[in-house]
Amino acid sequence: MSKLACEIRSLTKIYRGATSPANREIDLDVPAGVIYGVLGPNGAGKTTLVRQLAGLLEPTSGSIHLLGVDVRAEPGRVPLLLGYFGQRLLALNAHRFEEVLRITGLLRGQSVAQARRQAGLLMEYFGVTELARNLLGRMSGGERRLAGLLATFMGDRRVLILDEPTNDLDPLRRQQLWSYLHERNSRTGTTIIVVSHNLLEVELVAHQAVLIDRGVVAACGTIGDLKRSVAGWVRIELRLKQEQAEDRELIAGLPNARLARPGLWVIPAAPAAAPDLLGMVLNRLSPGALDDFRLVTPSLDDVYLHFTGREVGQHV
Amino acid sequence: MFDSDTPGRCQASATSVFGLVLISELFRIRLEWFWYLVQRSFVPLASLAFLYYLWDDPRSAQFAVTGSLVNTMTTSAMLSLGQYLGHMKDNNAFEHYAALPVSRTTFVAALATRGVLLTLPSLLTVALIGRWALDIPLTPIGLVSLLLGAYAMSGLGAFMGFWSKDAQTASLSTQVLATVIIYLSPVYIPLEQLPALFRWTSVLIPTTYAASALRLSTAGAGLTALWPDLLALLGFAMVSLFLVPLRLPWRQA
């Protein structure tokens, strides 16, 4: 058995009529049995990448192997290996919640009893048994998305690709989803590829990640590796209540200081210099100007900022 | 809850997949059954009533009933399936099936069968009224003609739906095609009354053979007389079921 769940070489995708590639010469290895984050700004080419991996989009050039299967040559074998959850809501308005799950299980070769059992257990885990008989067309976006997610988990697929799975989900469901993915990965060794904007959540569950920017791989590795790439820095965060002109001048004059959003300043600093720098700023700010401050070690947010030059959520 | 607790084969059998996709696609009846029945019976019934008052000789009555059956078949199977597929394309609904172990051929066969099944209530309504009001019978071989014709028309509808780039194009193209294959072919009027051009083009249109087979069956003819028409309808159905999947955008380019 291949130790790689997914092996991508020189993958390029140029959409018809487009002038620049959505993915350009991407090389990527996803080890089997990991939770793998695919990160990047909106429009960076993340969805294009995973749709090609799922055999739903024809690459312009390059190769993709999924558990040893050549996806370009044998796209029909891909659904036997993976469960794919796309960004669009299921267009199955006339299905009941449980029917979506059971039919998916049956299509993946489960018996009626197996499909019924797993559907029941999944609905119970996510606390949605009361939705079982409801029609999808009469549900909220979050509930419909959850139906699609749980259907993706049905059957015995060794790889899961989840594109923005937490969109439209409330905080409780998000937490349940991440718990489920963590549990499933650790108990069954399922490889889980997650496209997400939520770096904090990815940081908590993923073992490895790739950062895509403008269609190319900007960085990849274990979460630890990625964070170490910006380890020479810590971050001072200052939240101001009422920003006086002199306070703004003081902070803006510091090297690399930036206004992350109104009232919140971020100042990167070398770890050894950070306490003195913080002390100096706190001493010189106008009385009552400061609401809160934090000194934080690098997170995936910093990795993201370092490699893309953009805040999370900014478009390419 | 996890796969190890509920192991399954990787893939269901082809017949199971066909049945599951067909059932899935028939679920829409829950929401739209009223309109399937009423709207798709209304147009052919209105045409039938109109023709009943317009013509009064037995041959005209035969054309009115068989023409209305073919009209129903076209409206329900071809037009509605083509438009439905255009709607699916707009909603990226193919991706749902493409990401599952469902082959293109099975998917198209299930959709064509869905089209045929949804046609039956309207066809039977028109057939019963034809029998009751105009004494035009629907024989068993006539029913076979209807089923084959419905498959041929569903295949045509599927082709139009997949060929169209979006729902709007599917709607317009199927309406134009429906007009051509109902009113510019020997469906409501005898072949010899059509202009020469349409007599030639009629050879390529499945409604020509469906209407011919139905007319012969209502006149009491058997398989000996109907087989050329039935063979043509079978050919149209098979060709569309094999050709349409090739056009199906399972993977986006």
pLDDT for B252 equals: 66
Q: Is A104's CB within 8 Å of B11's CB?
A: no
Q: Is the pLDDT of residue B6 over 60?
A: no
> Smallest CA–CA separation between A51 and chain B, in Å?
9
Residue type, B191: L
- What's the mean pLDDT in A166-180? 91
Task: Give residue-wise pLDDT tens across range A156-167.
Answer: 799 999 999 998
Write phi, then psi, for A135 (nearest 5 degrees): -80, 140
Q: Which of residues 139-168 of A touch B (CB under 8 A)?
A: 155-157
Q: Is residue B11 part of a domain?
A: no
B8 occurs within a structural domain = no
pLDDT of residue B104: 84
Per-residue model confidence (pLDDT) at position A1: 44
Residue A168 pLDDT: 85
Q: Which two tokens stand for residue A170?
A: 């409330």
Q: Which domain holds residue B154?
A: 27-247
CA distance B193 to A246: 94
Least confident of A95-99, A173-177, A265-269: A265-269
Q: How many CB pairs under 8 A join A and B?
A: 123
Domain count, chain B: 1
Q: What is the pLDDT of residues B32-68, one digit of tens each?
A: 777 777 766 776 677 777 777 776 677 778 888 888 8
Residue type, B159: F
Q: Are strands A191-195 and A159-163 parallel, antiparallel or unpaired?
A: parallel
For chain B, give the number of residues. 253
**Beta carbons within 8 Å of B155's beta carbon, 6+ residues apart:** B112, B236, B237, B239, B240, B241, B244
User: A81 pLDDT exceeds 60?
Assistant: yes
User: Using the beta-carbon criterion (under 8 Å), do B12 and A75 form an inter-chain contact?
Assistant: no
pLDDT tens, position by position, B20-37? 999 998 998 888 777 777
Q: How far is Cα A37 from Cα A192, in angstroms, rounded to an integer?
A: 8
Residue matched to tokens 């089209």: B115
Q: A118 CB near a chain B CB, below 8 Å?
A: yes
B6 belongs to a structural domain: no
Torsion, Cα of A297, A301, A303, A307 (10° steps): -150
Higher pLDDT, B134 or A20: A20
Crossing angle of helices A245-252 and A274-284, rounded to 10° = 160
Asked if the model's pLDDT at residue A39 lies above 70, the reply is yes
User: Residue A55 is nearest to which of B7, B24, B251, comparing CB atoms?
Assistant: B251
Kindly state whether A262 is in contact with chain B, defined as any CB-CB distance less than 8 angstroms: no
Chain B residue whose CA is closest to A188: B4
Q: Cα A107 to the chain's mean position, in Å?
A: 27
Q: Which of A53, A60, A59 is nearest to A30 (CA)?
A: A53
Please, what is the average pLDDT of chain A? 89
B12 in any annotated domain: no
DSSP string, chain B: --GGGS---SS--HHHHHHHHHHHHHTTHHHHHHHHHHHHHHHHHHHHHHHHHH--SHHHHHHHHHHHHHHHHIIIIIIHHHHHHHHHHHTTTHHHHHTTT--HHHHHHHHHHHHHHHHHHHHHHHHHHHHHHH-----HHHHHHHHHHHHHHHHHHHHHHHHSSSHHHHHHHHHHHHHHHHHTTTTTS-GGGS-HHHHHHGGG-HHHHHHHHHHHHHTT--HHHHHHHHHHHHHHHHHHHHHHHHH--SSB-
| A61 interface with B at CB cutoff 8 Å | no
* Residue whose C-alpha is closest to residue B79's, from B198, B159, B189, B190: B159
The partner residue sitting opposite A79, judged by closest CB among B1, B29, B100, is B100
CA dihedral B110, B112, B116, B117 (to 10 degrees): 20
Q: How far apart are CA B109 and CA B168, in angstroms?
A: 24
Determine whether the interchain pair B31/A75 forms a contact, defined as Cβ–Cβ distance below 8 Å: no
Confidence label for A311 from pLDDT (cuts 50, 70 and 90)? low
Q: What is the per-residue pLDDT for B248?
A: 67
Residues 6+ apart with CB under 8 A from B64: B47, B48, B51, B52, B55, B130, B134, B188
The confidence score (pLDDT) of residue B125 equals 83
Instruction: List pLDDT tens digits, range B94-127.
Output: 888 889 999 888 888 898 898 888 888 888 888 8
> What whole-number distance in Å separates Cα of residue A201 and Cα of residue A210?
15
Nearest CA in chain A to B27: A94
End-to-end CA distance of chain A: 38
A-chain CB neighbours of B10 within 8 Å are 80, 108-109, 156
Nearest CB among A56, A83, A115 relative to B251 is that of: A56
Q: How far is A149 from chain B (nearest CA, A)?
A: 12
Q: Residue A263: CA atoms inside 13 Å, Cβ hemisphere, count? A: 8
Q: Percent of chain B having pLDDT more than 90? A: 22
Q: What is the dihedral of CA A50, A52, A57, A61, to 10 degrees?
A: 140
A158-179 average pLDDT score? 92
Kindly provide the b/e burial profile for residues A206-245, where b requires at least 16 CB atoms within 10 angstroms of the residue's own CB.
bebbbbbbbbbbbbbeebeebbebbeeebbbebebeebee
Tell me whether residue B180 is in a domain: yes
Whether the per-residue pLDDT at A315 is higher than 60: the answer is no
Q: Pairing between strand A23-31 and A35-39?
A: unpaired
A95 touching B, CB under 8 A?
A: yes
Question: Is B24's Cβ below 8 Å from some Cβ in A?
Answer: yes
A268 interface with B at CB cutoff 8 Å: no
Of A293, A163, A165, A298, nearest in space to A224 by CA: A298
pLDDT at A308 over 80: no
Per-residue pLDDT at B214: 92
B10 falls within a domain: no
pLDDT digits (tens, 9 = 90+) for A211-246: 998 899 998 999 888 887 777 778 888 898 877 788
φ, ψ at A10 (rounded to 5°): 50, 40
Q: Is B9 a member of any domain?
A: no
Predicted pLDDT of residue A299: 76
Q: How does residue A208 score in pLDDT terms, banded at 50, 70 and 90?
A: very high
CB B217 within 8 Å of CB B141: yes
What is the rounded distance in angstroms from the CA atom of residue B157 to the CA atom of residue B34?
A: 21
Instruction: Tell me how far apart the alpha carbons of residues A21 and A216 are, in angstroms, rounded to a whole number.
Output: 9
User: Residue A181 in contact with residue A189, Cβ under 8 Å?
Assistant: no
DSSP at A233: -
**What percent of chain A shows pLDDT beyond 70?**
96
Among candidate residues A70, A34, A32, the one with its CA nearest the CA of residue A52: A70
A57 to chain B, closest Cα gap in Å: 5
Distance (Å, rounded) from C-alpha B11 to C-alpha B102? 9
> What percentage of chain B exceeds 70 in pLDDT?
90
Find all residues with CB under 8 Å of B76, minimum gap 6, and list them: B36, B40, B115, B118, B119, B122, B123, B150
The stretches of chain A forming alpha helices (DSSP H) are 46-53, 78-81, 97-107, 112-125, 141-153, 171-188, 199-205, 223-228, 245-252, 274-284, 300-308
Average pLDDT, chain B: 84
pLDDT at residue A167, as a whole number: 87
What pLDDT was estimated at residue A288? 82
**Opening angle at CA A129, ends A123 and A133, nearest 5:** 110
Do strands A208-213 and A35-39 pair parallel, antiparallel, or not at all (unpaired)? parallel
Which pLDDT band holds residue B235 (cuts at 50, 70, 90)?
Answer: very high
The predicted-structure confidence for A53-68, as pLDDT tens digits, reads as follows 999 999 999 999 999 9
Q: Does the pLDDT value for residue A316 go beyond 50?
A: no
More confident: A11 or B8: A11
Question: So what's the pLDDT on residue A53?
Answer: 96
Quickly list DSSP for A55-102: TSB--SEEEEEETTEETTT-GGGHHHHEEEE-SSPPS-TTSBHHHHHH
